[in-house]
């Protein structure tokens, strides 16, 4: 790196160092702050962290509940780190916004209230409840449906350009959950109104697997003689169907990947995510939907 030739004598002005650091990444800026005191001072400057924040960050935090004045930060670096570790609620609490710490890419979660849930407003099938562990004021609890259909939309101009995103349904389960088992569902992510490829997913809270048993006859040795007796052993095996399965999140919720999409620079279109299970004919209950998480894929 050309700038390394000036480290020992600290001959570069701090403003030049800050400009150079702003062209790297948050991760690199933090590492380079350990090189020398001038680098450390430059790496803390607002000029650097202003570049790491999204260009429209002020418009986004202005739509947060309470507005920008409620966000506790003394510097642009403090604001950046706050948005990485504490998702803020925007658009009247129907979405949350955060950043990926190491690169500043945008992340959104669409709340259950902002999704289109078939029969979602019919108390016989779904009900809206509050959970202290949710970032949103309401989540959707599935009471009993045969037709399971959830979808959500977001404009691609809200997302970071030249970035591959994944969409994930975030949910948990009640003590009594049934109807999912090894029943496959279909998910898709793509531009609304265009043909999209579908993926097979399983919403089984146990991860899509069901324990099954198979039996086999094995030889049994008695003394010096081997008798091929009908000695039957029950062998337990895990039967996991092909497809995506739920994973545990660090916040205690579960998620299932619905699909992925590459956001091109300058693209402006509605990105739609959907999950349906309408072919099995079995009634389902027990899921609690928090929303759909849309974040960059590593």
Q: Are residues 44 and 106 in the same domain?
A: no
State the pLDDT confidence band at 10, using cuts at 50, 70 and 90.
Answer: low
Work out the average pLDDT over 36-51: 78
- Which pLDDT tens digit goes with each residue over 278-293? 886 789 999 999 999 9
Q: What pLDDT is stored for residue 121 in this prediction?
A: 95
State how far the alpha carbon of 241 is from the alpha carbons of 118, 138, 285, in Å. 27, 33, 21
Q: Are residues 99 and 44 in the same domain?
A: no
- Domain containing 117 equals 94-210+238-296
Return the higher-pLDDT residue of 56 and 67: 56
Q: Are residues 292 and 186 in the same domain?
A: yes
Pick the range with the lowest mean pLDDT from 36-50, 51-65, 70-84, 213-227: 213-227
Pick the range with the lowest mean pLDDT from 211-220, 247-256, 287-296: 211-220
**Count of domains for the chain:** 2
Q: Are residues 288 and 164 in the same domain?
A: yes
Say if residue 233's pLDDT is above 90.
Answer: no
Pick the range with the lowest mean pLDDT from 6-15, 61-70, 97-106, 113-122: 6-15
Q: Are residues 277 and 175 in the same domain?
A: yes
Say if residue 236's pLDDT is above 60.
Answer: no
Is there a domain that residue 29 lies in? Answer: yes
Q: Are residues 177 and 242 in the same domain?
A: yes
Please calculate the CA angle 18-24-28 and round it to the nearest 5 degrees.
95
Of 295, 287, 293, 294, residue with least CA distance to 131: 287
State the pLDDT confidence band at 241, using cuts at 50, 70 and 90.
Answer: low
Say if residue 208's pLDDT is above 80.
Answer: no
Q: Are residues 287 and 159 in the same domain?
A: yes
Q: In the chain, what percentage of residues exceed pLDDT 70?
A: 81
Is there a domain that residue 110 lies in? Answer: yes
Work out the average pLDDT over 248-257: 95
Q: Are residues 38 and 131 in the same domain?
A: no
Q: What pLDDT is stored for residue 230 in this prediction?
A: 39
Helix (H, G, I), strand (E, B) or coil at 5: helix
Is there a domain that residue 170 lies in? Answer: yes
Say if residue 4's pLDDT is above 50.
Answer: no
Q: What pLDDT is stored for residue 11 in this prediction?
A: 66
Pick the range with the lowest mean pLDDT from 59-68, 73-82, 206-215, 239-248: 206-215
Q: Are residues 27 and 103 in the same domain?
A: no
Is there a domain that residue 104 lies in? Answer: yes
**In this structure, are residues 73 and 58 in contact, taking their beta carbons and an 8 Å threshold?**
no
Q: What is the 3-state secondary structure (H, E, C) of 247-268?
A: EECCCCCEEEEEEEEEECCCCC
- Residue 181 sits in a domain of what CATH number? 2.60.120.260
d(CA 14, CA 197): 51
Q: Are residues 271 and 128 in the same domain?
A: yes
Q: Are residues 206 and 130 in the same domain?
A: yes
């Amino acid at each position: 790196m050309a700038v390394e030739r000036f480290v020992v004598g600290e001959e570069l002005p701090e403003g030049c160092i800050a400009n150079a650091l702003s062209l790297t990444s948050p991760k690199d800026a933090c590492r380079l702050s350990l090189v020398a005191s001038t680098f450390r001072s430059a790496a803390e400057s607002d000029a650097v962290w202003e570049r790491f924040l999204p260009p429209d960050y002020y418009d986004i935090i202005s739509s947060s509940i309470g507005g920008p004045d409620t966000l506790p930060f003394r510097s642009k670096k403090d604001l950046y780190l706050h948005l990485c570790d504490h998702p803020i609620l925007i658009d009247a609490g129907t979405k949350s916004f955060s950043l990926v710490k190491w690169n500043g890419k945008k992340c959104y979660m669409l709340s259950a209230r902002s999704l289109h849930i078939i029969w979602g407003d019919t108390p016989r099938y779904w009900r809206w409840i509050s959970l202290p562990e949710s970032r949103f004021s309401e989540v959707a609890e599935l009471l009993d449906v045969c037709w399971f259909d959830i979808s959500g939309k977001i404009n691609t101009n809200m997302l970071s350009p030249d970035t591959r995103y994944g969409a994930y349904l975030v949910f948990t389960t009640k003590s009594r959950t049934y109807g999912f088992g090894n029943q496959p569902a279909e998910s898709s992510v793509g531009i609304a109104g265009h043909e999209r490829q579908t993926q097979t997913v399983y919403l089984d809270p146990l991860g899509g697997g069901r324990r099954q048993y198979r039996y086999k006859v094995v030889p049994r040795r008695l003394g010096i003689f081997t008798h091929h007796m009908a000695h039957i052993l029950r062998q337990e095996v895990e039967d996991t169907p092909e497809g995506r399965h739920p994973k545990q999140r660090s916040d205690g919720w579960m998620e299932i990947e619905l699909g992925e999409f590459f956001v091109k620079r300058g693209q402006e279109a509605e990105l739609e995510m959907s999950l349906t299970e309408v072919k099995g004919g079995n009634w389902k209950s027990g899921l609690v939907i928090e929303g759909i998480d849309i974040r960059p894929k590593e």
